[in-house]
């Protein structure tokens, strides 16, 4: 007769049960997740409150779970982030005309955002700033501000660097 009190027996039994019923258990898990998503807002809020309460009661377990999940899904997350950054840059390029304002370059890997009044350092790099506003951070800020046209323009890297070093774009000399 089986000793149900034994921890090792319960583990072996659970493993064998899972192997035999794996497909059914996975299907049940999938359908319950879908049902939770479609649940009424009231039930969803109650479920979210339970989860939040559990996170507060078990901060170490929650942190471990997050770390494991991140390491398991790191590649997907990075790829998603890259895709989002590229899509955001394309949106900014489209909003500012899609080509260099000076020379007409259209290759999006060469294009970048330029401050019209050359006030980028003062505008973004003050002593109270914790980070430099460039790249995706700048693009998000521009999107949030609805792409201000008076302060920013689209230039290719050559025109932007020429403007930075000489004060005027080399094409206009």
**pLDDT 10s digit of each residue in the chain, 173 long?**
466 677 888 888 888 888 888 888 888 877 777 777 777 788 888 888 999 999 999 999 999 999 999 999 999 999 999 999 999 999 999 999 999 998 899 999 999 999 888 877 766 665 666 666 778 888 998 999 999 999 899 999 999 898 888 888 877 77
**Cα 59 from Cα 72, distance rounded (Å):** 20
pTM above 0.75, yes or no: no
**What's the token pair of residue 132?**
């430099």
pLDDT the model gives residue 14: 86
Measured from the Cβ of residue 50, the count of other Cβ atoms closer than 10 Å reads 10
Residues 6 or more apart in contact with residue 54 via CB below 8 angstroms: 62
- Closest residue by Cα to residue 154 from 106, 103, 91, 100: 100
pLDDT the model gives residue 4: 64
Measured from the Cβ of residue 142, the count of other Cβ atoms closer than 10 Å reads 20
Residues, the chain, total?
173
Spatial contact of 139 and 90, defined as CB atoms under 8 Å apart? no
pLDDT the model gives residue 120: 74
pLDDT the model gives residue 70: 95
Element at 111 (helix H, strand E): strand 111-115
pLDDT the model gives residue 89: 94
């Amino acid at each position: 007769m089986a000793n149900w009190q034994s921890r090792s027996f319960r583990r072996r039994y659970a493993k064998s049960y899972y192997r035999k019923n794996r497909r059914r258990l996975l299907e049940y898990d999938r359908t319950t997740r879908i049902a939770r998503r479609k649940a009424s807002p009231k039930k969803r809020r109650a479920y979210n409150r339970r989860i939040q309460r559990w996170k507060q009661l078990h901060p170490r377990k929650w942190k471990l779970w997050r770390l494991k999940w991140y390491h398991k899904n790191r590649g997907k997350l990075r790829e998603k982030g890259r895709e989002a950054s590229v899509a955001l840059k394309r949106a900014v390029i489209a909003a500012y005309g899609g080509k260099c304002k000076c020379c007409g370059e259209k290759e999006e890997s060469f294009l970048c955002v330029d401050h019209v009044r050359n006030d980028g350092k003062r505008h973004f790099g003050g002593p109270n700033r914790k980070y430099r506003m460039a790249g995706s951070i700048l693009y998000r800020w521009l999107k949030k501000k609805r792409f201000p046209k008076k302060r920013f323009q689209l230039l290719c890297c050559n025109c932007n660097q020429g403007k930075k070093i000489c004060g005027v774009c080399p094409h206009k000399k």
